[in-house]
Amino acid sequence: MDPVLILAIGGTALLALLIVGAVVTVISDRSLVEDRLGKFLDEDKPAVDGGDRGSIVTEWLNRKVTRSSWGDRVARELARADMKLKVAEYYALMFISTITVGLAGYLLQSSGQPTQRMISAAIGAVIGFFAPRFYVKRMQTQRLHRFNDQLSDMLNLMVNGLRAGYSTTQAMEAVSRELPSPISDEFRRLVQEMQIGIPMEKALDNLLRRIPSDDLDFVVTAINVQREVGGNLSEILDTISFTIRERVRIKGEMRVLTASVRTSGTVLSLIPVFLTIALWFVSPEYIGSFFDDIGGIPQPLCGIAAVVTIVGMIASGYFVMMKIADIEV
């Protein structure tokens, strides 16, 4: 089949799937709050029937996938990254990415041998399969860093509100109104959970599950302890605010001092991978000669053993350098 025709068919199918996903998302009248609330609650109640909202097949597939162990974990990862995707939509995105990048790898080797084309397609499929995961992890890390940077400002606002006569819930509501995202989004969700009848302790635990931050753990523990034994919450939060502010400052200095080590480890580990992939698509015969037989000697076995050794050394070097740069504060 003509490669241009294959590319046209794949592009048309990809565009159609994207349009269908966008239409289903737009016509759904469920708000973000309704989608998020209950996602991390430990209640075993079945999901509310969506009726005519969106596609029946899409809703059915999303419920089936979400109820699985993988679906629950993916839903948590998407919520931590603040991505407005359902679990089924995320799996569909992974499928589309795998097929698209795999097809691109196949077309790049369209003039090669069938084995080379299949290997290129497999390389592209692996890259497309893991690309959405890497993106979600990156979004999670960036959002967690922004949340930790805003945590001291949140505590100062809560302390001032408590000293002005606000209750704890009113102080949290002020945080959801006054501060920027992402901390305002999470506290708005926290306040809304309490407004529908969820106890504060449970809502705070849900917040900690969405934001796995050690600094936030201090705040949640202090609020829970104060609710049980009493005390001046404003003074407690003021002390915690000073501690967190100093930790954020020290962590920032540590990130600056270890940036060269982390960058060097990442670059030195990725250079052999990208160079090997580039050489494969430019000259597959050159890479393939590494596994050819020489004088009847089973060279493929030696080549595979060498590749495993190289990958192991690169991975061990990367993890050692990251461990050196990982300084606990």
Range of the domain at 136: 3-142
For 92-106, how does the pLDDT look when each residue is reduced to its tens digit (9 = 90+)? Answer: 888 898 998 888 888
Mark whether 67 and 101 lie in a shared domain: yes
Predicted local distance difference test score (pLDDT) of residue 130: 92
Give the pLDDT mean for 107-111: 77
Mark whether 44 and 68 lie in a shared domain: yes
SS3 state of residue 53 = coil
Of 69 and 128, which is predicted with more confidence?
Answer: 128
CA separation, residue 246 to residues 152, 158, 174 (Å): 10, 18, 24
For 252-310, how does the pLDDT look when each residue is reduced to its tens digit (9 = 90+)? Answer: 888 888 888 889 888 989 999 899 888 888 888 888 777 776 655 556 777 778 888 98
Cβ neighbours around 147 below 10 Å, total:
20
Mark whether 130 and 159 lie in a shared domain: no
Of 50 and 219, which is predicted with more confidence?
Answer: 219
Give the pLDDT mean for 25-37: 46
Residue 57, pLDDT > 60, answer no
Residue 157, pLDDT > 80, answer yes
Strand partners, 297: 294
For 166-183, how does the pLDDT look when each residue is reduced to its tens digit (9 = 90+)? Answer: 888 899 999 999 899 889
CA–CA separation, 303 and 293 (whole Å): 10
Residue 37, pLDDT > 80, answer no
For 191-200, how does the pLDDT look when each residue is reduced to its tens digit (9 = 90+)? Answer: 999 988 889 8
The band of 241, judged by pLDDT with boundaries at 50, 70 and 90, is: confident
Question: What percent of the chain lies above the pLDDT cut of 70?
Answer: 76
Mark whether 7 and 125 lie in a shared domain: yes
**CA angle 204–181–157, rounded 5-degree value:** 65
Mark whether 33 and 117 lie in a shared domain: yes
The band of 17, judged by pLDDT with boundaries at 50, 70 and 90, is: low
Mark whether 78 and 158 lie in a shared domain: no
- The reply to whether 102 falls in a domain is yes
Predicted local distance difference test score (pLDDT) of residue 27: 41
Predicted local distance difference test score (pLDDT) of residue 53: 43
- The reply to whether 232 falls in a domain is yes
> Are 219 and 237 in contact, with CB atoms under 8 Å apart?
yes
SS3 state of residue 180 = coil
Total structural domains within the chain: 3
Mark whether 184 and 121 lie in a shared domain: no
- The reply to whether 116 falls in a domain is yes
- With CA atoms as reference, report the closest residue to 80 among 193, 180, 211, 217: 211
Domain boundary (142, 161, 182) is at 142
Mark whether 110 and 149 lie in a shared domain: no
Mark whether 76 and 198 lie in a shared domain: no
> Are 17 and 100 in contact, with CB atoms under 8 Å apart?
no
Mark whether 276 and 211 lie in a shared domain: no
Residue 40, pLDDT > 50, answer no
- The reply to whether 254 falls in a domain is no
Q: What global pTM score does this model have?
A: 0.72
- The reply to whether 167 falls in a domain is yes
Domain boundary (142, 171, 203) is at 142
Predicted local distance difference test score (pLDDT) of residue 188: 92
CA–CA separation, 74 and 68 (whole Å): 10
Mark whether 160 and 227 lie in a shared domain: yes
Predicted local distance difference test score (pLDDT) of residue 294: 62
Predicted local distance difference test score (pLDDT) of residue 44: 39
**CA angle 150–153–159, rounded 5-degree value:** 140
Residue 18, pLDDT > 80, answer no
Q: What is the CATH number of the domain that holds 190?
A: 1.20.81
- With CA atoms as reference, report the closest residue to 87 among 60, 114, 110, 107: 60
Peptide bond just before 132 cis, omega within 30 deg: no
With 0-12 / 13-18 / 19 or more C-beta atoms within 10 angstroms meaning exposed / middle / buried, residue 90 is buried
Of 303 and 35, which is predicted with more confidence?
Answer: 303
Residues 166, 173, 79, 183: is their CA dihedral positive or negative?
negative
Domain boundary (142, 162, 184) is at 142
The band of 218, judged by pLDDT with boundaries at 50, 70 and 90, is: confident
Identify the weakest region by mean pLDDT among 38-42, 49-53, 147-151, 309-313: 49-53
Mark whether 9 and 121 lie in a shared domain: yes
Give the pLDDT mean for 129-144: 91
